[in-house]
Structure 1
Amino acid sequence: MSQLSEILSIQRSLEESFNQKMDQLGAQIQAAGPAKETVAKIAEEFRTFRELIFNMLGLLRKQIAECVLHIDGLEMRHRRKALIFQGLPEEEKEDCSSMVLGVLSSKLGLKDITAASIKVAHRLGSPSKDHARPILVRFSSSDVKSTVWKTKTRLRGTKISVKEFLTKTRQSIFAKARLHFGMRACWTQDGVIVIKASDGSRHRIVSMDELKPLLEKYPSKSNAA
């Protein structure tokens, strides 16, 4: 993903450079004085060439965006069996699997889920004195993950919360959507970001290109004030 992001950044830089050069050349043609046949011909060829390059850059931009979206989808599917548990205090020589199982049994009432249902459970990030690190849990099947996800509302009123293991791209989109529409109007389901707009309509998105039109169509309350 980082390599594609770098390619996209280079493509944007080249496009900006091309636009500057074209603007400079256009200004030179305009400054050539009264139109003569040679200047007029050059100007026409310039316009044709500029249109061709614009079309090529647009196609390249679209292809890169589609590749980024496809890879993000693949990465999200790789995370479909995982959830993140937040709010569990850290302990020395802790067993994250046992801690999570304790939450599933005592808080969510899922006593049938055993250690065999958890493939991986570990803390994310570097240790901090300020807060406990979240625990990434990868379950043995999507069904187990789905069962846990459906019962997460039972954690309301506690310090523990559960969220999906989104990709960096989708987490950024989700954060921007919640900032605009409000926390209660945005949630995720199987890696898809769901937005409930002010008119009651619901929108499922996975990319920034899908979010932008919604930001324009439904101004935030702070912007509308």
Structure 2
Amino acid sequence: MAHFDTRMAAFQSNLDKASTAPVTLSTLSSDFAQFKTLMTESLISLQQQVHVLAQQQDRLEMHNRRKILLLHGVRVDDEGDLTTVVSGILTERLKVPVSPDNISRTHRMGGLSQGKLRPILVKFRRTEVRNSVWSAKTALKNSGITLSEFLTKTRHDIFMKARKHFGVTKCWTRNGVVVIIGPDGKRHRVSSIAEVSQLINVLPISAGGVVSISTNTSVALKTSDSAGAGSSRSKRVVKK
């Protein structure tokens, strides 16, 4: 900010001097170029500061959610005490002893929608219990019930973009961090859209719908053109 004030003061001084001196086109061009450079540098600096503040806010919000999990697919008509129902499901299906005393609060999320099950927000009293439940989530496979972390909007967008490109089985979250198995077979931890885009560039998709992988293997993808070509049939001419 001090640099900005100094440069603006210099411009004002030059402007005052120009009021008593003839102004040429070259002088105006030079002053405009300097002013444009100053404005560009200032905007870039502001963008960087906003980005840093947004990242700090996202980390703080995710830290506040560290004891929370979302439980999906629970079909109970008359739930009664939701905390008791949730603790029973977790204990029975995950084989992790979770008593109602281990849970701080539970409630359904979102508005009422006919035919749609709303996820249940479960906040645990201790992080250790939450982590034990999260580590045992694979026991819910094929049960219709799933667990997910309570991600911020930024991290949810990162997760969805990664899943869309790399596939559902190649992406997951752990403590709010998105983990991706990249084309190199290694695990990559990402926390921004820019980092996901960088990984996507490592796995380019050609115009023919082929994904090129660094291990000299390729996976053919179905495209609308190829599907349409296979379904076209020649018409038979019937002579009368």
Q: For residues 97 and 202 of structure 1, do their structure 2 counterparts lie closer, same or farther at Cα, with a shift above 3 Å needed? A: same
Correspondence 1:80 to 2:66: yes
Runs of 4+ that moved beyond 3 A:
220-225
Structural mapping, 1:42-61, within 5 Å = 42-61=28-47
Which residue is equivalent to 2:181?
Answer: 196
Which residue is equivalent to 2:27?
Answer: 41
Paired with 2:83 and 2:204, the residues of 1 have a C-alpha distance of 43
| Matched letter for residue 161 of structure 2 | K
Cα RMSD over matched residues? 1.7
Match of 2:94, SS? coil
Decide which of 160, 174, 190 is 1:175's aligned counterpart. 160
Moved more, 38-47 or 165-174: 38-47
Q: For residues 130 and 223 of structure 1, do their structure 2 counterparts lie closer, same or farther at Cα, with a shift above 3 Å needed? A: farther
Paired with 2:140 and 2:121, the residues of 1 have a C-alpha distance of 17
Checking the alignment, whether the CA contact within 8 Å between 2:183 and 2:202 is kept in structure 1 is no
TM-score (norm 2): 0.74
Paired with 1:171 and 1:223, the residues of 2 have a C-alpha distance of 28
Larger helix fraction of residues: 1
Paired with 2:107 and 2:132, the residues of 1 have a C-alpha distance of 20
Which residue is equivalent to 1:160?
Answer: 145
Paired with 2:145 and 2:45, the residues of 1 have a C-alpha distance of 46
- Once the two structures are superposed, what CA deviation does each residue of 1:61-118 show, in whole Å capped at 9, x if it has no partner? 000011111001000000000000000014235322112111112110113x211100
Moved more, 136-145 or 208-217: 208-217
Checking the alignment, whether the CA contact within 8 Å between 2:79 and 2:85 is kept in structure 1 is no
TM-score (norm 1): 0.79
Correspondence 1:133 to 2:118: yes
Q: For residues 130 and 191 of structure 1, do their structure 2 counterparts lie closer, same or farther at Cα, with a shift above 3 Å needed? A: same
Paired with 1:66 and 1:161, the residues of 2 have a C-alpha distance of 33
Which structure's relative contact order is higher, taking Cα pairs within 8 Å and 6+ residues apart?
1
Paired with 1:167 and 1:40, the residues of 2 have a C-alpha distance of 52
Q: For residues 140 and 220 of structure 1, do their structure 2 counterparts lie closer, same or farther at Cα, with a shift above 3 Å needed? A: farther
| Matched letter for residue 138 of structure 2 | T
Unaligned runs of 5+ in 1: 1-36
Match of 1:169, SS? helix
Unaligned runs of 5+ in 2: 1-22, 212-220, 222-240
